[in-house]
Amino acid sequence: MSKDRLVVAVVGATGAVGREMLSVLEGRDFPATEVIALASARSAGTTVPFAGGELTVKELTEDSFEGVDIALFSAGGSTSEKFAPIAAKAGCVVVDNSSAWRMDDRCPLVVPEVNPEALDTHNGIIANPNCSTIQMMVALKPLHDNGQIKRIVVSTYQAVSGSGQKAITELETQIRQLFNMQTPEAEVYPYQIAFNALPQIDVFMNNDYTKEEMKMVNETVKIFNDPSVKVTATCVRIPVFYGHSESVNIETVQKITPAEARAILTQAPGVTVLDNPGEKIYPMAIDAAGQDDTYVGRIREDETIENGLNMWIVADNIRKGAALNTVQIAEELIKRDLLGVKDTTVFD
């Protein structure tokens, strides 16, 4: 790669996350000399906003990655499974936002504030973790470093935007239908989401956990690179448009007091502590929407065990949970001089 030229492609540029990726690239002054918007043939020829102007969307093909240095993927698992190896074969480093490559041993699973060193051995495809996992990792890694977390119990309260634009529209439509005394129509979700809470995100697995819950379990262990950490999760969809919230309980080897946890997290990268119960200060989804940081509050001792803490963690699932983390990985690749693919045969 010529040092004075950096070409970046956004795959799935017309989707909610793809558009947010473009916005984040622009907002962070990412040092690209050219940004290419790619999507399916159906979207080719349309435009997406970027840098005060517009980019014309090009059709994603097997030849799309010639001369591209970094490709940010947010086009779904099947698209990533097909095209990410093609990109890596062309020498283009892929940062993929789908679940396709997260548990593949050839692909690092990265949250830049947590395990950037995992990028050093990348093979051309880097996985972006699940949105719920990302925000939990940002908040828990500093505590793990100080007290060694041995068990995590997490319950999530996840916004409908995690299911895409159709889910956002479905919530809007159901609210209108209910206010007009009509029966709400459910298509994206198995039941009404408006004024409801659905304790199912993705399909159920053989162990009766959902796929989303097992993502949090398996991804946490991989990111921490510590199989001794035990994780159990319950994931719930709630009628909020943007911003995932999480109730998290941790048990540590070394005791961390709530005051110590606040001090640690106040210094942690990407974290904002909002925690003053006396003044009713705690993070909410409306605080996180559109923001980069992960917000933590309600930090208190779990009085049922010796070394336990409870906390409440909130972040924008489209931004930090997807687009921002992906761009931060790309920034880290540049910082560490890790562009290019050393072995283009790894995914053959």
Check 92, 107, 235, 244 and give the catalytic one.
244
What is the distance between the alpha carbons of residues 9 and 58, in angstroms, rounded to a whole number? 10
| Residue 144 among the catalytic residues | no
Can you read off the two tokens belonging to residue 32? 């690209």
| Catalytic residue (one of 92, 107, 122, 131) | 131
> Closest by alpha carbon to 116, among 340, 264, 330?
330
Beta bridge partners of 59: 39
Using alpha carbons, select from 73, 117, 113 the residue that is nearest to residue 93.
73
- Nearest alpha carbon to residue 93 among 348, 272, 337: 337
In degrees, to the nearest 5, what angle opens at C-alpha 114 toward C-alphas 109 and 116? 65
Annotated catalytic residue 244? yes
**In this structure, how many other beta carbons lie within 10 angstroms of the beta carbon of residue 143?**
23
User: Tokens at residue 156, please?
Assistant: 């999530």
Q: Return d(Cα 136, Cα 128) in angstroms, integer.
A: 14
The residues carrying an active-site annotation are 131, 244
